[in-house]
């Protein structure tokens, strides 16, 4: 295809071996995704291998004249290119959804996006319902079922159940339930000066992981900080199978402000310096991991085609040569006939 000594050298098998060795070193350094190791330990060998592959495809007749080998090399090159595009366009984040609330893209946490990411996360619309998590004896987490309501552009609602290895996929964004979940008392703060009441949820730490530490703080506008502690009754039993279901949980909210300490049940309120605090109800929150990579499908196709190409090329070498087996049998026959008396006994 292309006859140029420089190009041919760039696509040489020897350079491929060098690139593979460099990639192996990069892979070792990348083990565990340490913060101290630059992503370039992978990018540079992959760039090097991509150039090597491209030149080999263009200049090496042993590759471009063999369809299987050509498909294999083009597939490998496609995987490298697609992976690069994937990293440049990817998006990752976490979000904690309180029951009955609608997803808000401005509330995502720990967001990381590739420089080419131009997604449509703001267009994602769904409402979090309740969820259940099964536990085996010994508090070993089992299946999570999260009940979601999805709205299409015309506003029609559809119910979905997601969890664990079944993500919610909207606008290309994949929402995976995480082990992070818990309870959240919904509170209303009525300022003493007659200002606008505030209503919101105070998420408590993950449950049952931090079952012993269900506390949080909040400071109303122009008021002292309030400490909260939630005393839960969820039916949790470590020795037996148990299902975490926020709909059947009850919680007493212990409120501490200055020297004042009061226990509230849902619907009760207390007067604090600066206003009145109402404990409306107990609800739940569930953590999601958000993942976006538009190349996923094409990466899968490229990977499969790569293996198809590899298999097609190897097929002739893999299929057994009958002559070799005949050779083996003949040798055995010779041994048998060489043993004194073997024929007679046989």
Partner 1 sequence: MFVEVLWLWAGLAAYAIATYYAFRSVAQYRDAATGMTSEIVSHSGEKRVLFFMMAGVVLLTICMIVRWLRIDHGPFVDLFELLISQLWSLGLIYAVSYWRFPLLRPTAVIVLPMLWIPGLWVLTLEVSSIPNPPTYFNDWKWAHVGFGKFFLAFCLIGTGLAGVIFARMHPYFARSFQFMPTDKVLDNYAWRFMLLALVFESLMLIAGAVWAQDAWGRYWAWDALETSAFLNWLLLGAAIHARFTYNISVRTGAILIVLVFVFAFITYFGIPFYSGAAHKGVI
Binding site for partner 1 (CB under 8 A): 13, 16-17, 20-21, 23-24, 27-28, 30-33, 136, 140-144, 163-167, 174, 176, 289, 291, 296, 299-300, 303-304, 306-307, 310-311, 314, 317-318, 320-321, 324-325, 327-329, 331-332, 334-336, 338-342, 345-346
> What minimum distance in Å lies between the beta carbon of 249 and partner 1?
21
If the CB atoms of residues 153 and 345 are measured against partner 1, the closer one turns out to be 345
If the CB atoms of residues 10 and 16 are measured against partner 1, the closer one turns out to be 16
Asked if residues 129 and 99 have their Cβ atoms less than 8 Å apart, the reply is yes
If the CB atoms of residues 34 and 153 are measured against partner 1, the closer one turns out to be 34
If the CB atoms of residues 89 and 283 are measured against partner 1, the closer one turns out to be 89
> What minimum distance in Å lies between the beta carbon of 299 and partner 1?
8
Is 277 in a helix, a strand, or coil?
strand
If the CB atoms of residues 143 and 256 are measured against partner 1, the closer one turns out to be 143
> What minimum distance in Å lies between the beta carbon of 346 and partner 1?
6
If the CB atoms of residues 88 and 339 are measured against partner 1, the closer one turns out to be 339
If the CB atoms of residues 271 and 329 are measured against partner 1, the closer one turns out to be 329
> What minimum distance in Å lies between the beta carbon of 59 and partner 1?
15
If the CB atoms of residues 250 and 342 are measured against partner 1, the closer one turns out to be 342
Structure letter (DSSP) for residue 240: S
> What minimum distance in Å lies between the beta carbon of 88 and partner 1?
16
d(CA 173, CA 111): 13
> What minimum distance in Å lies between the beta carbon of 162 and partner 1?
11
| Other C-beta atoms lying within 10 Å of the C-beta of residue 299 | 17
Asked if residues 90 and 82 have their Cβ atoms less than 8 Å apart, the reply is no
Asked if residues 18 and 10 have their Cβ atoms less than 8 Å apart, the reply is no
d(CA 147, CA 130): 6
> What minimum distance in Å lies between the beta carbon of 124 and partner 1?
16
CB within 8 A of 77, min separation 6: which ones?
50, 53, 54, 57
Taking CA 55 as the corner, what is the angle to CA 53 and CA 59, rounded to the nearest 5 degrees? 120
Asked if residues 249 and 207 have their Cβ atoms less than 8 Å apart, the reply is no
If the CB atoms of residues 165 and 259 are measured against partner 1, the closer one turns out to be 165
DSSP 97-158: EETTPBP-GGG-EEEEE-TT----GGG--EEEEEEEEEEETTTEEEEEEEEEEEE-TT--EE
d(CA 305, CA 318): 19
Burial class of 185 by CB neighbour count within 10 A (0 to 12, 13 to 18, 19+):
buried
> What minimum distance in Å lies between the beta carbon of 230 and partner 1?
26
Structure letter (DSSP) for residue 31: T
> What minimum distance in Å lies between the beta carbon of 159 and partner 1?
21
Angle between helices 13-30 and 40-59 (to 10 degrees): 160
């Amino acid at each position: 295809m292309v006859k140029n000594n420089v190009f041919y050298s760039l696509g040489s098998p020897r350079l491929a071996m060098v690139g593979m060795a460099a990639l192996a070193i990069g892979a070792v350094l990348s083990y565990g995704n340490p913060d101290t190791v630059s992503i370039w330990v992978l990018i540079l060998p992959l760039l090097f291998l991509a150039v090597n592959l491209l030149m080999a495809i263009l200049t090496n007749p042993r590759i471009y004249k063999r369809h299987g080998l050509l498909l294999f090399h083009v597939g490998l090159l496609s995987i490298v290119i697609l992976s690069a595009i994937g990293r440049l366009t990817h998006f990752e984040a976490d979000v904690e959804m309180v029951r009955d609330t609608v997803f808000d893209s401005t509330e995502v946490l720990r967001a990381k996006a590739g420089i080419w990411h131009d997604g449509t996360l703001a267009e994602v619309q769904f409402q979090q319902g309740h969820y259940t998590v099964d536990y085996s004896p010994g508090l070993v987490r089992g299946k999570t079922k999260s009940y979601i309501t999805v709205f299409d552009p015309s506003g029609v609602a559809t119910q979905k159940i997601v969890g664990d290895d079944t993500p919610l996929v909207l606008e290309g964004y994949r929402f995976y339930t995480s082990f992070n979940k818990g309870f959240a008392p919904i509170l209303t703060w009525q300022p003493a000066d007659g200002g606008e009441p505030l209503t919101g949820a105070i998420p408590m730490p993950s449950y049952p992981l931090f079952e012993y530490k269900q506390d949080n703080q909040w400071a109303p506008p122009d008021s002292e900080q309030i400490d909260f502690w939630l005393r839960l009754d969820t039916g949790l039993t470590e020795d037996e199978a148990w299902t975490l279901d926020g709909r059947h949980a009850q919680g007493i909210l212990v409120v501490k402000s200055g020297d004042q300490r009061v226990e509230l049940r849902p619907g009760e309120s207390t007067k604090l310096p600066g206003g009145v605090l109402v404990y409306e109800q107990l609800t739940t929150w569930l953590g999601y991991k958000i993942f976006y990579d538009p190349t996923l499908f094409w990466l899968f196709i490229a990977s499969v085609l790569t293996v198809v190409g590899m298999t097609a090329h190897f097929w002739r070498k893999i299929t057994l040569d009958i002559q070799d087996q005949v050779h083996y049998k003949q040798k055995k026959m010779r041994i048998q006939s060489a043993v004194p008396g073997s024929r007679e006994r046989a």
